[in-house]
Amino acid sequence: MTGHRAPSWRINIALALGLGFGVLMLLSAVAFGIAMFSGRANTVDLLRDRNERIIDRAVERVRSQLDPVREHVIGLRNRVDRGDIDLNDTNRLADYMTAVLDGLPQIDAVGLVREDMTATRVVRHLNGGTQVMQGGLYDYPGAEGRVAETRKMIERMRDAGLSSDQAVWGDLIWEPAIRQPLVNLRAPLLRDGKFLGATAAVFSINTLSRQLSADSIAGESMNFILVDRYSVLAHPSLVYEDYHLSVEKPMPNLEEINDPVLARIWSGRKDVASARAIVRDRGAHLAEAEGRLWMFVYRELPGYGSQPWLIGRYFPLEEVDNEVVRLQWAAAVGAVGLLLSILVAWRLGRAIGKPIRAMAEAADNLRSLEFNSAPLPRLRLRELDEAAQALNAAHQALNWFGNYVPRKLVNRLLREGEEAVKVSKQRDVTVLFTDIVGFTAMSENMSAQETADLLNEHFALMAACIEAEGGVIDKFIGDAVMAIWGALKRDEDQAAHACRAVAAIHTALIEDNAARRERGLPTLRVRCGLHTGPVVVGNIGAPGRLNYTVVGDTVNIAQRLEQLGRDHMADEDEILVLASGATVRAAMLEPEPPLVGMLAVKGRIGEVEVYRLNGRLKEPLGEAPECK
């Protein structure tokens, strides 16, 4: 056997590992400089993406809380417009409004005010219960101003002439009962174009503040919502602190909020361009507060009042710098680690090199079939120990093998290499091709696992029938099978064995289809093609990737016979087997099966005598073997 020439120069493992780690250290030093420039940019990108996701989540939470309110308010006013609900049927109206309140936990109250200023309201209490209120609009002291305000609202909506699919978010209204400003959505009530009153849904701003507090970290980062840039609509501190709000002052301003950083959002602004470059957003700037620089990121949310809301978040700028400092420390520690690793690599190379040289000598002894050398010792390194023990096991196995196989013959094979197995032969064989009918269309409605399971079950059934009659499966081609009889050794009855295997496939397929019908699974229909003739048998392929197979016109005809079944298979047939006259005569089938005719085969000049074997298999050949 020819070998490769040894390289002109070689080094030992210890030196190679030491040099390798030294080069790695130099490359790491170069990479450190590049990392210093790119580290800050990458860190800023990560921070920007994180804060953009937080802002997106805050906007989505607000929208998910407010938008369903619009759908239910418009739904109520549409029912009134269609006449499904009578405004005078207070019981049914109260039931519907209670259902709306139950379906929207963010709503504190739902109300309907008629043009005569009578109202039906459903209010949620702090304990979770609801209360239905009928009649006068407000019944507590000081409510006169609210009544007047409501009357003006009704008049404006009537004069505006809003269509039946419109609703508007009004400005915040003050609710004395809970001392909270309320976000409110209003819609006019119409029937046949006539104005009847208005409906509204309200909820306090505490809910918005609770939503924002989920992503806030006191003293480090905070979410907020501003109105007109200076009034605080939502902030985590609004949930638990009393800002003594009133009808004159429904929201705290920046100076009153218990957040010294947010209070400096506009007055402490330092650098807008740098901030926008960092976060790549127009709504961003840097501001100084508490002796630190803070990054403010914000976004306008219009459509929920006469003035757009400003949803934002702030965080300390040193978050960016801290990440870079950590990167520098990591690089320094890595450099020290590389220096130490060079020393470790040198010692490790010496520890690995010696047993590898011993294993190389043992492998060379095996190649020369010299079995007198001592076994390799056990080693502390697991992989090397496993390799050494594998060589010891191979040494022992080949030693026993040498007692039964002449060593001269083995040495000859080693010397001649693949030339010894390249010789191919011509031999008469019988080739079978099978294919599942309509499998492509069937697999489109199946998952990948279902498709694999179906093919595995089918191939197992086919293989059992073929191998029971001495056939060899050459290959699986998609959903097709190619099998051969008489290739590995001469078989005078190869055609008969192939026909018996087809008979077994016929029986097994029918039984399997019956079982599949009971399980509610789709059945399979199979076409088969059989032909007997000369082929070239041998190792076909490239060096290192050989396949012991057959090639020739016989293989092509068998495949064409299977494909020819498309024109002769009836809808009720579960299996169709077309065999050439050569196979029928070689199998000595008596009585002779039905002749399909002399048919032209694609890709071949002349015609082929074709027979149909279905239903003609068991009588002349005996009972088909059972496939398991």
Which comes out higher in pLDDT, residue 314 or 351?
Answer: 314
Confidence of residue 348 (pLDDT cuts 50, 70, 90): low
Over range 449-459, report the average pLDDT.
Answer: 90
Confidence of residue 157 (pLDDT cuts 50, 70, 90): confident
pLDDT at 24 over 70: no
**Residue 421 pLDDT:** 44
| DSSP conformational letter for 64 | H
**Residue 534 pLDDT:** 92
**Residue 502 pLDDT:** 93
Residues above pLDDT 70, as percent of the chain: 67
Confidence of residue 2 (pLDDT cuts 50, 70, 90): very low
The sign of the dihedral angle between the CA atoms of 174, 179, 185, 187 is: negative
| DSSP conformational letter for 413 | H
Q: What is the tens place of the pLDDT at every residue in 320-330? A: 555 555 655 66
| Residue with tokens 């010299």, as numbered in its chain | 370
pLDDT at 544 over 90: no
Over range 146-156, report the average pLDDT.
Answer: 71
pLDDT at 617 over 50: no
Determine the CATH number of domain 64-199. Answer: 3.30.450.20
Which comes out higher in pLDDT, residue 485 or 589?
Answer: 485
Q: What is the tens place of the pLDDT at every residue in 477-499? A: 889 999 999 887 788 899 999 99
Name every residue whose Cβ is closer than 8 Å to that of residue 434 and which is 6 or more positions away in sequence: 462, 480, 481, 483, 505, 526, 527, 528, 529, 562
Please give the full DSSP string across 522-570, using - where no structure is assigned: PP--EEEEEEEEEEEEEEEEETTEEEEEEESHHHHHHHHHHHHGGGT--
Mean pLDDT, the chain, as a whole number? 76
- Domain ranges in the chain are 64-199, 207-316, 324-414, 422-621
3-state secondary structure of 506: helix
Confidence of residue 20 (pLDDT cuts 50, 70, 90): low
CATH superfamily of 422-621: Nucleotide cyclase, GGDEF domain (3.30.70.1230)
Over range 126-149, report the average pLDDT.
Answer: 64
Q: Give the pair of three-digit tokens for residue 237.
A: 């501190």
**Residue 87 pLDDT:** 79
Contact 554, 561 (CB under 8 A): no
Q: What is the tens place of the pLDDT at every residue in 40-81? A: 566 666 666 776 777 777 778 778 777 888 888 888 778 877
Residues above pLDDT 90, as percent of the chain: 14
3-state secondary structure of 13: helix
pLDDT at 436 over 90: yes
pTM of the model: 0.45
Q: What is the tens place of the pLDDT at every residue in 35-44? A: 666 665 666 6
DSSP β-ladder status, 480-485 and 269-271: unpaired
**Residue 616 pLDDT:** 44
Identify residue 553 by its one-letter amino acid code. Answer: D
| Of the ranges 97-101, 287-291, 431-435, the best mean pLDDT one | 431-435
Indicate the fold that domain 207-316 takes in CATH. Answer: Beta-Lactamase (3.30.450)
Q: What is the tens place of the pLDDT at every residue in 397-413? A: 666 655 544 454 355 44
Q: Fold identical between 207-316 and 422-621?
A: no
